[in-house]
Structure 1
Amino acid sequence: MAEAFKFELVSPERLLVSEDVESVVIPGTEGEMTVMANHAPVMSTIKPGVVTVNPVSGSPERYVVFGGFADILPSGCTLLAESAVPVKDIDKADIARRIQEAREDLADAKDHASRTKAEEFLQQLTTLEGAILPA
């Protein structure tokens, strides 16, 4: 059994998770990462994706996050999400709305940097949609 550490998932609306876990898989902007106890200190930005929480007792829990930051320390991990919801509660209409807004942002982009950022966000959202929603 892996050593436990404290994990918290916080969105502006509420605290979704605050418990001892064995590991957490986070969709970092530089790539997916697995956090375990005694992890080296890291601060990372988070892209839209799925966070998988492996609690000490019970089965894995999955949450959709829409960006944010992860603060990882040897003693724990805090993920501050721009928005987060359990995968089981995900709303297909909400994903579709976010994708439409991202398309509008892309169409309204005034310069190359804005266009590139909007394209990346739209791609992340469409990938997320395909990963969590049935066809």
Structure 2
Amino acid sequence: MTVALEIISPERLLLARPVSMVVIPGTEGDLGVLPGHSQMITSLRGGLIDLYEDEKLVDRFFVSGGFAQITEERCTVLADAIVKLAELDPLKAADELAAAEAAWREADEADEAGWRAASDRLITAQARVDAVSAQNA
């Protein structure tokens, strides 16, 4: 049995194919989606989406955030931004992390929305650097 996986970015349908399992970075932790999964909608944090076929990891993507809708037969990922893991640039990821750290340090905690945006940016930038490190490990 398989799960029908669709990954949609703001620009286009990036991927539509059956997989044995997909692991997505939910905001409350990673979720492994297998056929027959309970229905749910979850928000995504920055992190890796792993695609499996016959218990073998076949593809990896970095997602900056978004949402996923899961049913017994389907997993639809609506990504804010997504890129194949192999296409991540380590230098750009490091620069983005440095900029996000600076913005977070300068954020005013009294401005809840601004502080939250700076925190989210920092979390995503750190996840991007971690993903690059995982790729090179």
TMscore range, shorter length = 0.7 to 0.9
Pairs within 5 Å for 1:1-135:
3-55=1-53, 59-112=57-110, 113=112, 114-115=114-115, 118-119=118-119, 121-133=121-133, 134=136
Q: Partners in 2 of 1:57 and 1:14 — Cα distance?
A: 28
Q: Partners in 1 of 2:98 and 2:11 — Cα distance?
A: 23
- What TM-score, normalized by structure 1, do the two folds share? 0.82
- Percent identical residues: 29
Provide the aligned C-alpha RMSD in A.
Answer: 2.5
Q: Partners in 2 of 1:30 and 1:57 — Cα distance?
A: 24
Question: Cα gap change, 1:117/1:57 in structure 2, threshold over 3 Å: closer, same or farther?
Answer: same
Equivalent position amino acid for 2:25 in 1: P
Question: Cα gap change, 1:49/1:77 in structure 2, threshold over 3 Å: closer, same or farther?
Answer: same
Q: Which runs of 5+ in 2 are unaligned?
A: none
Q: Is the 8 Å Cα contact of residues 51 and 64 (structure 1) preserved in structure 2?
A: yes
Q: Partners in 1 of 2:83 and 2:19 — Cα distance?
A: 18
Deviations 1:88-109 (A, max 9, x none): 1112233234324423431442
Equivalent position amino acid for 1:130 in 2: D
Q: Is the 8 Å Cα contact of residues 62 and 131 (structure 2) preserved in structure 1?
A: no
Give the count of matched residue pairs.
133
Q: Partners in 2 of 1:77 and 1:116 — Cα distance?
A: 28
